[in-house]
Amino acid sequence: MRITKRIISSLLSLLSIQFIATNALPITPVPASRAASRYVIENPLPYAVQTHEVIRVPNTNVILISQMSNSVLLKATVNNQGIIQDIGAFQLGQNTSALHGLALSKNYPGHVWVTLQKDNKLVLLDPMVKSISFPPTVIKEIDVPAPGLGPHYVGEYGDELWSTLQDSSDVLRINYKTPSDYTIYKGLPRPIFIAQHPDNGQFYTGEDNSASIMKIEPATNKTTQLSIPSSAGVTPVGLIAGPKGHGIWFTLLGNATHGTGTIGNLHADDTITYHTLSSSPLSSNASLLHLAFDPKAKTNYTIWLLASSIINSSALDMIIKVTFDESWSKIVSEDIVVTPTHLNKAHRILVSPNNVLATELASSKLVSYYTL
Ligand SMILES: *[C@@H]1O[C@H](CO)[C@@H](O)[C@H](O)[C@H]1NC(C)=O
Ligand SMILES: *[C@@H]1O[C@H](CO)[C@@H](O)[C@H](O)[C@H]1NC(C)=O
Ligand SMILES: *[C@@H]1O[C@H](CO)[C@@H](O)[C@H](O)[C@H]1NC(C)=O
Ligand SMILES: *[C@@H]1O[C@H](CO)[C@@H](O)[C@H](O)[C@H]1NC(C)=O
Ligand SMILES: *[C@@H]1O[C@H](CO)[C@@H](O)[C@H](O)[C@H]1NC(C)=O
Ligand SMILES: *[C@@H]1O[C@H](CO)[C@@H](O)[C@H](O)[C@H]1NC(C)=O
């Protein structure tokens, strides 16, 4: 009896094997394409309470970083991935001079303009890229004329510098060859960045605490305030020129309680189109501080945004790659990376062909982001 049961059960299992074999689950190779791996590296920097701007000296592997709280300029070499190889640190002025803005000079190739916010000065430096240990040298020093106070941004446009005077809420235009030729434009609290419109040639500054952008027409000295509707948000910070034909672009940190994930595109006729991120709750609530166009933006319609916890400890620090359609009128895709160190108050973003760098204001770190 027992034997018979065993035989039957063996027969049954044989049958079931047979059953599986003749009706096998189909297994078919399918394409295994995938996106490149994403690497987010955090490079520790010498300690400072506040790390601000970052720029790359053209045609070199040298980047410069401003640390405002101790007025230190960092000079670092980076590899192809943007990872720091070697670093030197130089105090500019006193430790209270408040080194802040950094900008490349076109007229003096390889040299950079910096602002010393508390010394009230604009300074042209030769960063001495030959060696990390060579101190930068001063080529030109320009005092900000009274009653102007507290230069934050500086940018070179032909023979002129334009600077936001954060502490007196003014904008300065000054001829760096003839510094007696200048104009101070009274703004609302507080002008932060300036861009020249690629299409109408006028200058615009975002006023972070006034939800407004000031237009300046230097030929007539006329200024106009363009207010930002509360439905889009408040606190415009990053503001840069887009590709020719596509206006100025700016980021908003949020409204009274939330990041709004919104950026603005200011056209030649001063109308503004707002674009709101929507691919994820992370991006639709993003507090957007700054932005940079991809080096290939003219052909790949890509812009990089930096979201920051600087406004609210509930906000995330993120690098968001946003791609538009060919007319820059509609967002096509969003790609989000959150930085490893939370609450770092991510501050500026610098995009090179092979990597993206971002400063972390509050953690003395530089993020290098690349894909392989
Ligand atoms: C600046 O220098 C003074 C005097 O050497 C020093 O007491 C102070 O701690 C320094 N502050 C910073 C932020 O480095
Ligand atoms: C603009 O202001 C500057 C400085 O105040 C002045 O020299 C210049 O003549 C003004 N331009 C016009 C068109 O009023
Ligand atoms: C910070 O963000 C949280 C969550 O969105 C919000 O509830 C709070 O009101 C915000 N605080 C400020 C000061 O904006
Ligand atoms: C602030 O923005 C959030 C997110 O976009 C939105 O839900 C909320 O209604 C806005 N609040 C105000 C006062 O506009
Ligand atoms: C934004 O964040 C709040 C909480 O702070 C959340 O309630 C809300 O759903 C988020 N908005 C979106 C669009 O995810
Ligand atoms: C645009 O080019 C950059 C590299 O410069 C690349 O990271 C990005 O993915 C490109 N965007 C698109 C949409 O291909």
Q: Which domains does the chain have, with CATH numbers?
A: 37-371 (2.130.10.10)
CA 356 to CA 306: how far, in whole Å?
A: 11
Q: Any idea which ligand is nearest the CA of 324? A: 6
Nearest CA to ligand 4 atom 7: 258
Note down pLDDT in tens along the chain; length 372 residues: 455 556 555 555 554 555 555 689 999 999 999 999 999 999 999 999 999 999 999 999 999 999 999 999 999 999 999 999 999 999 999 999 999 999 999 999 999 999 999 999 999 999 999 999 999 999 999 999 999 999 999 999 999 999 999 999 999 999 999 999 999 999 999 999 999 999 999 999 999 999 999 999 999 999 999 999 999 999 999 999 999 999 999 999 999 899 999 999 999 999 999 999 999 999 999 999 999 999 999 999 999 999 999 999 999 999 999 999 999 999 999 999 999 999 999 999 999 999 999 999 999 999 999 999
Cα end-to-end span (Å), the chain: 67
Kindly tell me the number of DSSP H helices and DSSP E strands found in the chain: 3, 28
Determine the residue type at 240.
Answer: I
Contact 101, 151 (CB under 8 A): yes
Half-sphere exposure of 108 (CA within 13 A, CB side): 21
Q: Any idea which ligand is nearest the CA of 260? A: 4
Contact 224, 260 (CB under 8 A): no
Residue with tokens 């861009």: 195
- The predicted model scores a pTM of 0.92
Atom of ligand 6 at shortest range from CA of 356? 7
Contact 337, 38 (CB under 8 A): yes
The alpha carbon of 134 and the centre of ligand 3 are apart by a number of angstroms equal to 45
The alpha carbon of 279 and the centre of ligand 5 are apart by a number of angstroms equal to 13
Cβ of residue 95 lying under 6 Å from some atom of ligand 1: yes
CA 203 to CA 266: how far, in whole Å?
A: 12
Q: In what order do the strands lie in the sheet with 222-227?
A: 191-196, 203-207, 212-217, 222-227
Nearest CA to ligand 5 atom 12: 281
Cβ of residue 115 lying under 6 Å from some atom of ligand 1: no
Cβ of residue 354 lying under 6 Å from some atom of ligand 6: no
Atom of ligand 2 at shortest range from CA of 220? 13
Nearest CA to ligand 6 atom 13: 300
Q: Any idea which ligand is nearest the CA of 97? A: 1
Half-sphere exposure of 198 (CA within 13 A, CB side): 13
